[in-house]
Amino acid sequence: MKSTEAAISVTTLARRLGDPLMGASCLAALLLGVGSLLFMPLYVLVEAYPVLGNEGGVTGFLFTRPWRPLAAPPEFGILHSWVSTLMITAICLALALPLGYGIGLFVSEIAPRFVQAILQSSLQILAGIPSVVYGFFGYVTLLPLFESHLDMPAGESILAAAIILSIMVLPFVASTSAEAFRAVPAETKEAAFAQGVTRWHVIRRVVIPRAAPGMFAGAVLGFARAIGETLAVLMLAGNSLAVPTGVLDRGQPLTALIATELGEAGVGSRKFHALFAAGLILVVITVIINAGIWALKVKWVRPSE
Amino acid sequence: MNRSAVVADRVFTLSAWIFGGLGLALPFSIVGFILVNGAHVISWQFLTEDPAGFPLGMAGGILPAIKGSLALVGIGVVIALPTAVGGAIYLTEYGKNVFVLRSVRFITECLAANPAIIYGLCGYSLLVVFMALKISLLAGAITLGLMMFPIILIGSQEAIQAVESEYREAALSLGVTKAYVVRWIILRKALPGILAATVLATGHALGSAAPILFTASTVFSHGGMSLDAPVMTLPTHLYYLVNQALSFDHAYGTALVLVVLLFMINFLAWTLKRYVGR
Amino acid sequence: MSAADEKTSRRSGRGIVCSDDLPLRAELADPYGRLPPLRSTEAVLEVRGVHAVYGDKEVLHNIFCHFPEKRVTAIMGPSGCGKSTLVKILNRTLELTPGAKVIAGTVLYHERDIYDRQSLPMDIRKRIGIIHQRPVPFPMPILDNVLFGANFHGLLNGMSPREYAEFYLDKVGLLEEIKDRLGDPASKLSGGQQQRLCLARTLANQPEVILMDEPCSAIDPVSTQRIEALISELKKEYAIIVVTHNMNQARRISDQAVFIFGGRIIEAGDTAQLFKEPKTELAQSFVSGLIG
């Protein structure tokens, strides 16, 4: 008995080492991956910092200075850029939210089973189309339309970018809000229906108020997605350095600014730091939004349990 | 029930159906539009030749772009998949501290949503310049790998966590190590979920131009690919064609190839799920 | 007969200790605390003063008992009284459930404390196998299922995997039924077949003791019969401990029985004796079907 026991222990020794080995290598993988992820925004902050400390500082960067890399001395202000971002995003949400909520309501409350499934697949397809393809689509459909009907020499504009962006954001708003609508307990709806009112009444008075936090989350997520989009707006917004004033003006949102100017930014130059500062704004907004959604999820899921 | 309420309800129902119809029509019209305009461009030459013509891209084919895209994403997956699955295994099987686990999850979810251009920005600065990888396949693949990592991590973690505890208990009761259980049982059961997350990440990476504009892509390349040389990719090629207004025919063709490739990947995922997840 | 003699006769050779405040073995210890060596018909597993908890709720209080070799011992009692917990502490599988653990006392296996620092749970679980209430077939072919533990512990010793697996499948009477289907996924088997597969898997690990946690409660009556027949066969080679809430089953299959209620051992001893003349009121109620 003893010798076979010893034999068994020896042969399985290698197998027993498996645990510490796996634990260690998996930990290493985790640290590598999450560490790199964490490193990114910190790095952006570090590279953006010189701009924030410079002449005029943050206010100058954001509000007063124009973007003139070729001037002497070169100036790097991003007023035109974040205004473009805001305008595009605002119009985009103005289009995407009603449409998205409408589709969300349709999917969760009205559509029969098989239509639900088809619609969900279509939304997934919409979400899966790459940004550059959307940009291309807008380029060959919207821009000529604008040029002929709105009497513009070139169709690139805030509005064009916003319209295409709203299609891109639509599936996220629709599925998030559909989830929120579905989460309204059936008993609550049944109780309301039992009062003998119309479906719209129940939806308006019961479902929407209950789903409001989820709808808000959908809007906020749509916002985050919209400000982070690059290629579509790059191809459709026009890349002008002037501050846009109307929807048919050309603009250059933050993402497009980075994409356009990075190629000519020498590493370590002031333009380089300025682009990182623009990036920092995007990172900060995205992280805050996602952290907020996380907190909402945590707070919201628990009380209902 | 009063009249106006009934009317309001009817209006709502009608609008809802219209919205639903729009939701259905949009993707099909977009894809259909590309299909209709791009179908005639697709030919054997288009898919297997290098760009030609003057300026480049007006004629010939897009083979290097197809190869470049596949190579970038392929290497990116090779980097991201083991790292993410390993991390997911640690989080569910070996991680002890609840606080650490939750904060890792929090960090990952927050940073997963970073705009793609930021990945490109950091990739350019750190990989291309600082680590002197130059604009290359390797730099782009690492950037894409990092972008794919959180998606695969979160999906894998959920898949592994979903494996019922009875399996773990029954297996460990036989006196084997946790690593043995992970290797032979947990990973097997979690495989469909892991694959689904990987495919999601791959599709996302295949179509993104922003991270690789400055880390890997070039307007033209031909012949073989190597890790330290830039590559053509489908999304960037599409962008260049449009930006330089080179050839709209080819642009449609490129867009169509890209969309078809994405469909194929998703279809692959769907069949894999059904085959593996029995 | 004096009280001391009565106690002695109750605990000689064949039996199990009776109540929870009579630590049997300790009283036989010599002044230096050494215990006499076990004889083969004596206990292979001994529980001493175990308290077990789930989180902050204590579910086993001061358990003393032991289990003999080459016999079937039934652990019985109504639902929720700690039977499963008791059987799981015997091979350290209780600690696989988060929050559950043994906070006091110990279990001796062949005189060795399985809860001390030197003991490896892995070794103990190999030598004391367990099958659970719900059969858990692994997501792999039947053959691989049977060999799962055996491969890890290197027990094949040159035998072909197929031969080794077929031997144990035969032992549980499954080989006839699935001889040509060994490559099929185990999930395709019926509930009763899966449970026998789990038994084969445990046997393939070459344990010395087999624990069974309500092995028949989730399967059909025909399979139950077959498993009970198997238990009678297997007890010739292994010590078997079966948890059951069905007293008829306990009566049918076991030689000794332990009756547990509310996390305490109420009565223990020869099965026939316990059913005929239970010494405590609670046991009396249980065997007459009033509780459980």
The string of pLDDT tens digits covering residues B100-136 is 888 888 888 888 888 999 999 999 988 888 888 888 8
Question: Is the Cβ of B267 closer than 8 Å to some Cβ of chain A?
Answer: no
Partner-chain contact C152 B176, CB within 8 Å = yes
Please check whether residues A151 and A43 belong to one and the same domain. Answer: no
Residues of B numbered 162-221 whose beta carbons fall under 8 angstroms of chain C's beta carbons: which are they? Answer: 166-177, 180, 184-185, 188-189
CA gap B211, C45 in Å, rounded: 64
Please check whether residues B191 and B258 belong to one and the same domain. Answer: yes
- Helix (H) or strand (E) segment spanning residue A50: helix A18-53
CATH assignment at residue B147: 1.10.3720.10
Question: What is the average per-residue pLDDT within A31-60?
Answer: 82
β-pair type (B51-52, C128-131) = unpaired
Min CA distance, C159 vs chain A (Å)? 15
Question: Is the Cβ of C201 closer than 8 Å to some Cβ of chain B?
Answer: yes
Question: Is the Cβ of B108 closer than 8 Å to some Cβ of chain A?
Answer: yes
Residue percentage of chain C with pLDDT more than 70 = 85
Question: Is the Cβ of C232 closer than 8 Å to some Cβ of chain B?
Answer: no
Partner-chain contact B104 A30, CB within 8 Å = yes
Please check whether residues A156 and A248 belong to one and the same domain. Answer: yes
Please check whether residues B23 and B55 belong to one and the same domain. Answer: no
Q: Which of A84-98, C41-55, C211-225 has the lowest mean pLDDT?
A: C41-55
Query: Could you read off the pLDDT of B39-72 as tens digits, one per residue?
Result: 888 887 777 777 776 666 667 778 888 889 999 9
Partner-chain contact C122 A11, CB within 8 Å = no
Please check whether residues B228 and B164 belong to one and the same domain. Answer: yes
If one compares C210 and A2, the residue with the highest pLDDT of the two is: C210
CA gap A266, A136 in Å, rounded: 30
The pLDDT assigned to A139 comes to 93
β-pair type (C209-213, C239-244) = parallel
Nearest chain B residue to C91 by CA: give it: B173
Partner-chain contact B168 C96, CB within 8 Å = yes
Distance of CA A81 to the CA centre of its chain: 17
Chain C residues closer than 8 Å to A11 by CB: 154
pLDDT band with cut points at 50, 70 and 90 for residue A30 = very high
ipTM: 0.90
Residue at A179 is within a domain: yes
Question: Is the Cβ of B30 closer than 8 Å to some Cβ of chain C?
Answer: no
Residue at A60 is within a domain: no
Question: Is the Cβ of C156 closer than 8 Å to some Cβ of chain A?
Answer: no
Please check whether residues A270 and A126 belong to one and the same domain. Answer: yes
Please check whether residues B255 and B192 belong to one and the same domain. Answer: yes
Q: Is the pLDDT of residue C240 over 90?
A: yes
Chain A residues closer than 8 Å to B219 by CB: none
Min CA distance, A143 vs chain B (Å)? 13
Question: Is the Cβ of B12 closer than 8 Å to some Cβ of chain C?
Answer: no
Q: Most confidently modeled of A188-192, C136-140, C254-258?
A: C136-140
Task: Round to the nearest angstrom and report the end-to-end CA distance of chain C.
Answer: 35
Exposed/middle/buried for residue A300 (C-beta within 10 Å: 0-12, 13-18, 19+): middle
Q: Provide DSSP, B204-258.
A: HHHH--HHHHTTTB-S---S---TTS-B--HHHHHHHHHHTT--HHHHHHHHHHH
CA gap A213, A219 in Å, rounded: 10
Q: Provide DSSP, B94-134.
A: I---HHHHHHHHHHHHHHHT--HHHHHHHIIIIIIIIT---
- At C132, is the secondary structure helix, strand, or coil? coil
Partner-chain contact B184 C140, CB within 8 Å = yes
Min CA distance, C154 vs chain A (Å)? 6
Distances (CA, A) of C150 to A303, B175, B188, C202: 48, 10, 19, 9
Question: What is the average per-residue pLDDT within C143-158?
Answer: 89
Q: Is the pLDDT of residue C5 over 50?
A: no
Residue percentage of chain A with pLDDT more than 90 = 34
Q: Which chains touch A (3 or more CB pairs under 8 A)?
A: B, C
The pLDDT assigned to B219 comes to 80
The pLDDT assigned to A65 comes to 72
What count of CB pairs under 8 Å joins B to C?
A: 65
Closest CA to B27 of C111, A121, A60, C91: A121
The pLDDT assigned to C99 comes to 87
Please check whether residues B122 and B191 belong to one and the same domain. Answer: yes
| Residue of C152, C203, C208 to mutate, testing the B interface (most B Cβ within 10 Å of its Cβ) | C152
pLDDT band with cut points at 50, 70 and 90 for residue C12 = very low
Min CA distance, A122 vs chain B (Å)? 6
Question: What is the average per-residue pLDDT within C45-51?
Answer: 87
Nearest to B174 among C134, C139, C149 (CB): C149
Chain B residues closer than 8 Å to C84 by CB: none
Partner-chain contact C140 B171, CB within 8 Å = no
The residues, ordered by sequence, that sit 6+ positions from A262 with a Cβ below 8 Å of its Cβ are: A275, B120, B121, B124, B213, B214
CA gap B180, B168 in Å, rounded: 10
The pLDDT assigned to A233 comes to 93
Please check whether residues B195 and B81 belong to one and the same domain. Answer: yes
- Contact (Cβ atoms closer than 8 angstroms) between residue C140 and residue C187: no
CATH assignment at residue A209: 1.10.3720.10
Please tell me the total count of domains within chain B.
Answer: 2
The conformation of residue B182, written as its DSSP 8-state character, comes to I
The pLDDT assigned to C65 comes to 84
Distances (CA, A) of B109 to A14, B6, C4: 37, 45, 70
Instruction: Based on DSSP, count helices (H) and strands (E) in chain C, helices before strands.
Output: 12, 10
Please check whether residues A141 and A270 belong to one and the same domain. Answer: yes
Q: Which of A12-26, A96-110, A173-187, B24-38 has the lowest mean pLDDT?
A: A12-26
Phi, psi of B119 (to 5 degrees): -60, -40
The pLDDT assigned to A9 comes to 55
pLDDT band with cut points at 50, 70 and 90 for residue C63 = confident
- Contact (Cβ atoms closer than 8 angstroms) between residue C264 and residue C61: yes
Please check whether residues A41 and A87 belong to one and the same domain. Answer: no
Chain A residues closer than 8 Å to B27 by CB: 122-123, 125-126, 129
Give the total residue count for chain B: 278
Please check whether residues A149 and A9 belong to one and the same domain. Answer: no
Q: Most confidently modeled of A230-239, A259-268, C273-282?
A: A230-239
Please check whether residues A221 and A286 belong to one and the same domain. Answer: yes
CA gap C41, A287 in Å, rounded: 69
Partner-chain contact A40 B208, CB within 8 Å = no
Query: Could you read off the pLDDT of A286-298 as tens digits, one per residue?
Result: 999 988 888 877 7
The pLDDT assigned to C34 comes to 44
The conformation of residue B66, written as its DSSP 8-state character, comes to H
Please check whether residues A15 and A110 belong to one and the same domain. Answer: no
Partner-chain contact A8 C152, CB within 8 Å = no
Task: Please name the residue ranges forming H helices in A68-207.
Answer: 79-105, 113-128, 131-149, 158-182, 186-193, 199-202
| Residue of A12, A13, A15, A19 to mutate, testing the C interface (most C Cβ within 10 Å of its Cβ) | A12
CA gap A183, A209 in Å, rounded: 12
Residues of C numbered 12-71 whose beta carbons fall under 8 angstroms of chain B's beta carbons: which are they? Answer: none
Residue at A18 is within a domain: yes
Query: Could you read off the pLDDT of A56-105 as tens digits, one per residue?
Result: 566 666 776 777 777 666 777 788 888 899 999 999 999 999 999 999 98
- The reply to whether omega before C185 is within 30° of 0 (cis) is no
Question: What is the average per-residue pLDDT within C247-264?
Answer: 87
CA gap C257, C265 in Å, rounded: 11
Partner-chain contact B117 A119, CB within 8 Å = no
CA max distance for chain A: 95
Please check whether residues B22 and B74 belong to one and the same domain. Answer: no
If one compares A101 and A197, the residue with the highest pLDDT of the two is: A101
Chain B residues closer than 8 Å to C122 by CB: 175-177
- For B246, other C-beta atoms within 10 Å of its C-beta total 20
Q: Is the pLDDT of residue B276 over 80?
A: no
Closest CA to C20 of C268, C291, C278: C268
CA gap A209, A246 in Å, rounded: 34
Partner-chain contact A16 C122, CB within 8 Å = yes
Q: Both tokens of residue C165?
A: 């697996």
Min CA distance, B86 vs chain A (Å)? 4
Please check whether residues A192 and A257 belong to one and the same domain. Answer: yes
Q: Side chain identity at B136, as an amino acid letter?
A: S
Phi, psi of C12 (to 5 degrees): -75, 155
Question: Is the Cβ of B143 closer than 8 Å to some Cβ of chain A?
Answer: no
CA gap C14, C71 in Å, rounded: 10
If one compares A65 and B268, the residue with the highest pLDDT of the two is: B268
Q: Which of A132-136, A181-185, B119-123, B203-207 has the lowest mean pLDDT?
A: A181-185
Q: Which of A50-64, A261-275, C74-88 has the lowest mean pLDDT?
A: A50-64
Please check whether residues A196 and A296 belong to one and the same domain. Answer: yes
Query: C138-164 burial, b for 16+ CB within 10 Å, e for fewer?
Result: bbbbbbbbbbbbbbbbbbeeeeeeeeb
- Helix (H) or strand (E) segment spanning residue A292: helix A270-301
Nearest to B9 among A25, A199, A259 (CB): A199
Q: Side chain identity at B50, as an amino acid letter?
A: D
Chain A residues closer than 8 Å to C153 by CB: 8, 12
Please check whether residues B75 and B96 belong to one and the same domain. Answer: yes
The pLDDT assigned to C13 comes to 32
- The reply to whether omega before C68 is within 30° of 0 (cis) is no
What count of CB pairs under 8 Å joins A to C?
A: 11
Task: Tell me what the pLDDT averaged over chain C comes to.
Answer: 81
CA gap C282, A289 in Å, rounded: 62
- At B198, is the secondary structure helix, strand, or coil? helix
CA gap C215, C202 in Å, rounded: 13
CA gap A67, A84 in Å, rounded: 13
- For A118, other C-beta atoms within 10 Å of its C-beta total 14
Distance of CA C63 to the CA centre of its chain: 15
Please tell me the total count of domains within chain A.
Answer: 2
Min CA distance, B220 vs chain A (Å)? 17
Please check whether residues B20 and B115 belong to one and the same domain. Answer: no
Question: What is the average per-residue pLDDT within B28-32?
Answer: 92
Closest CA to C45 of C267, C238, C265, C243: C238
The residues, ordered by sequence, that sit 6+ positions from C165 with a Cβ below 8 Å of its Cβ are: C142, C143, C146, C147, C182, C200, C204
Note down the domain range covering A158: 79-300
Please check whether residues B202 and B169 belong to one and the same domain. Answer: yes
| Residue of B3, B10, B12 to mutate, testing the A interface (most A Cβ within 10 Å of its Cβ) | B12
Q: Which chains touch C (3 or more CB pairs under 8 A)?
A: A, B
Q: Is the pLDDT of residue C36 over 90?
A: no
Distances (CA, A) of A303 to A208, A216, A296, A297, C9: 19, 18, 11, 11, 61
Please check whether residues B128 and B248 belong to one and the same domain. Answer: yes
**Helical pair B248-276 and B234-243, crossing angle rounded to 10 deg:** 160
Q: Both tokens of residue B53?
A: 């013509």
Question: Is the Cβ of A16 closer than 8 Å to some Cβ of chain C?
Answer: yes
Distance of CA B36 to the CA centre of its chain: 25
Partner-chain contact B31 A137, CB within 8 Å = no
Nearest chain B residue to C96 by CA: give it: B169
The conformation of residue C223, written as its DSSP 8-state character, comes to H
Question: Is the Cβ of B238 closer than 8 Å to some Cβ of chain A?
Answer: yes
- Contact (Cβ atoms closer than 8 angstroms) between residue C111 and residue B155: no
Min CA distance, B228 vs chain C (Å)? 43
- Contact (Cβ atoms closer than 8 angstroms) between residue A161 and residue A233: yes
Task: Tell me what the pLDDT averaged over chain B comes to.
Answer: 87
Nearest chain A residue to C153 by CA: give it: A12
Question: Is the Cβ of B251 closer than 8 Å to some Cβ of chain A?
Answer: yes
Min CA distance, C136 vs chain B (Å)? 7
Chain B residues closer than 8 Å to C96 by CB: 168-169, 172-173
Min CA distance, A180 vs chain B (Å)? 17
Please check whether residues A23 and A108 belong to one and the same domain. Answer: no
pLDDT band with cut points at 50, 70 and 90 for residue C219 = confident
Please check whether residues B82 and B26 belong to one and the same domain. Answer: no
Please check whether residues A46 and A100 belong to one and the same domain. Answer: no
Note down the domain range covering B132: 47-277
- For C112, other C-beta atoms within 10 Å of its C-beta total 11
Chain C residues closer than 8 Å to A3 by CB: none
pLDDT band with cut points at 50, 70 and 90 for residue A300 = low
Nearest to B170 among C126, C132, C205 (CB): C132
pLDDT band with cut points at 50, 70 and 90 for residue A197 = confident
